[in-house]
Amino acid sequence: MPILSKRNDQNPRSSGIFSFFIQFLVVGIIFFLIGFAVGQKKVEIIGNGVVPKLTVQNTTPQNTTVDFSLMWEVLDAIPQKYIDKSAIDGNKLLYGAISGMVRSLGDPYTAFLDPKQNEAIKSELAGVYEGVGIQIGFNKDKRLVVIAPLSGTPAQRIGLRPKDLILKIGDRETFDLTLPEAVDLIRGKAGTKVKLQMQHEGEDKPFDVEVERAKITVKSVEVDYKDVDSKKVAVMKISRFGDTTDSEWDQAVREVKGANVAAIVVDMRNNPGGLLSSSIHIASEFTGGVIVKQQDSAGRVASLSSDHQGVFSKIPMDVLVNGGSASAAEIFAGAMQDHRRGEIVGEKTFGKGTVQEPLDLAGGSSLHVTVAKWLTPNGHSINGSGINPDVTIEAPDVNSEEDPQLEKALEILK
């Protein structure tokens, strides 16, 4: 195994530091990757007789006055002072250093994902993973909450609701968890169980639930048909915007087009979002022009427009939303509302309107950085405020078989 020691001269450190090679290796890698440097120290990676020596010279960036030598002092002290050398893990040190740096920004959606967490996010976008079937995020108070329980999953079956507070995952309090850490704790092998302490929005009393994890296969697009005054109305439910959503949507469009429907209801309830490109693709089916605007930190605004000529641009339509409609689902609803394309029916949406740019890093990790915020075509900021429906209809009790929101949308389309 290679040995890493931090050097000021050509004499090696003690054997204790030699055995702690990986801690300094990973620190050198992280600062090399993200452009940070610490002091004027040198890191030397020494091979095991096969790998040649590599020296990385770290220099203080010109645009910062921060002295990072404190980190070197800590890294020197840990292997020399900490009692349990076997408990020190190089990868954990690396990922913890990056995560702590990112967390200091105070933005819960800017996060570092280690390889395991990054793979979990990618599997979710692919629509197949093992867990309980909830999308999670943060409310305006930066508390961990349920964005939406996914249809047909364990989370939905036990009655979890959008905006439920997640107070504990197992024995772990959630107040200081990052989003990737929370996802990592909730996910697990199908058949195992996870205990959650929850609290419904607007209620004071927490409650505990134990949810059995399952293999979650999420179909993005489902189509149903309703008869309204002897006319056929298609109800197209979009549950997420993932890797397969565009192809599923295109297939559904062909089916609905061939069914000769008189109107369409697009059901975005409990859709936690996903890929922006898919939201634009589906919105383009109903309207042209600007779908969403993106405002960066300098106040510059860029417009993102429809990506194709849609086949439903003239057909009457409505959109169903609720508190579990977030991110890309809000972009769709906002575009339909601003273009006066159809009535938005239901409840106020979640209000997640910031843009995260994923940066792939070495070893399978990634950094998700908030780079901008979403605006509707008319310039309404989604973040924190959400989309207010044109027609407000509260959802029934979770155990009710009635759907007054859908009934109202169908009534409007008469």
Catalytic residue numbers? 327, 338, 352
Q: Write the DSSP assignment of 44-86 as a string of letters.
A: EEE-SSSSPPEEEE----TT----THHHHHHHHHHHHH-S-GG
DSSP state of 150: P
Task: Please give the structure tokens belonging to residue 69.
Answer: 């030598």
CB 181 within 8 A of CB 169: no
32 CB neighbour count, 10 Å cutoff: 14
Amino acid letter, residue 311: V
Q: What are residue 97's phi and psi, to 5 degrees?
A: -65, -45
How far is 398 from 403, CA to CA, in rounded Å?
10
360 CB neighbour count, 10 Å cutoff: 9
CB 321 within 8 A of CB 387: yes
Amino acid letter, residue 32: F
- Helix 21-34 / helix 69-81 crossing angle, nearest 10 deg: 160
Q: What are residue 192's phi and psi, to 5 degrees?
A: -85, 165
Please give the order of strands across the beta sheet that includes 3-7.
3-7, 42-46, 54-57
Query: Which residue, among 135, 152, 181, has the nearest Cα to 326 in the 3D structure?
Result: 135
CB 12 within 8 A of CB 18: yes
